Structure 1
Amino acid sequence: MRIDKYLWCVRYYKTRNMVTEACKKNHITVNGLIAKPSKEVFPTDKITFRKDQITQIITVLDIPESRVAAKLVDIYRRNDTPPEVYQHLELLKLSKEHYRKTGTGRPTKKDRRDIDEFGNDIEDEEDNN
């Protein structure tokens, strides 16, 4: 089975076109070699690809006939990605939310005044020292 069809069938990408673009950008390797979209994959092949700031490593266990249900994906691949990578992704998500909660939008006038007032307090302290 072609690499683009395989990664689409095991639900790593929404469309085959997305896989093709990733292959053209050299984001996907099979057994350490850069893969074109038409590269054939076989059981025991190791596929490495970068998606969502994570370098995923999977091993092909079997070739599906067509796109499979999410619950059945583990029959066709084994995820060899180290757990530290997922922990690092969680830390990135938390660090983005630290400054401002997701979905709160732009600062309001009151927020802006509070920010300016806080900045002025810091400048006053520096002037006094």
Structure 2
Amino acid sequence: MAEKEKLRIDKYLWAIRLFKTRTLASDACKAGRVKLNGQNTKPSHEVKLDELYSVSKGPERKIILVTGLLENRVDAKTAVNYYEDKTPVEDREGFQAMSQAPQLRRDRGAGRPTKRDRRDIDDLQQDFFEKNTEAGNKEEE
């Protein structure tokens, strides 16, 4: 793999497969979703080894440590060798639990939920999250 001494952050994030396109990586930098030491980075920021970046993609937040510079996009198995995921376990589990939450859908044309329907929906969601939190606490013990 071709390693380079100077590399832009948008190109690096695209190469390690955190973003599907380089444009999306660049837009994330411009929007302030890529941070180095709590400071927003520009897409042209030069990546250096052993820097710690915080990257937000929707509800998901990752903290990555640069272990190698990668100029071109490679397969996912190879890309993992060029960064280290330092995201706390609680954040990863929280995101996974959120993606597994039940998606409540209403029939088209059913209108807005009544007050009683809304309370039932809230109770169902609260029960789901409480059960998952209790199950997570039991696994830690």
Shorter-chain TM-score bucket reads: 0.7 to 0.9
Name the CA distance, whole Å, in 2 between partners of 1:67 and 1:96: 35
Map of 1:27 onto structure 2: 33
**Cα distance in 1, alignment partners of residues 25 and 108 from structure 2:** 41
Are 2:74 and 1:60 equivalent residues in the alignment?
no
Which TM-score applies when normalising by structure 1? 0.73
Match of 1:82 in 2: 88
85-94 or 56-65, which deviates more = 85-94
Distance 1:31 1:108 in 2: 47
Structure 2 residue aligned with 1:107: 107
1:123 alignment partner in structure 2: none
1:65–1:25 Cα change, 3 Å: closer
Q: Does 1:10 align with 2:16?
A: yes
Q: Larger Rg: 1 or 2?
A: 1
Q: Which runs of 4+ in 1 moved over 6 A?
A: none
1:46 equivalent among 52, 61, 68:
52
What is aligned with 2:101?
95
Q: Using the alignment, how far apart are the partners of 1:61 and 1:75 within structure 2?
A: 7
The secondary structure found in structure 1 opposite 2:42 is: coil
Q: Report the 3-state secondary structure (helix = DSSP H, G, I; strand = E; otherwise coil) of the residue aligned with 1:49.
A: strand
* Aligned-partner residue type, residue 8 of structure 1: W
SS at match of 1:95: coil
Q: What is the CA-CA distance between 1:25 and the residue it aligns to?
A: 0.9
Q: What's 2:131 paired with?
A: none
CA 1:107–1:21 in 2, change beyond 3 Å: closer, same or farther? Answer: same
RMSD: 2.3
Closer/same/farther in 2, CA of residues 93 and 2 from structure 1, 3 Å limit:
same
The Cα shift of 1:38 comes to 0.1
SS in 2 for 1:55: strand
Q: 5+ unaligned residues in a row in structure 2: which ranges?
A: 1-6, 118-141
Partner amino acid for 2:101? S
State the TM-score, normalizing by the size of structure 2.
0.67
| Structure 1 runs not aligned, ≥5 long | 101-105, 120-129
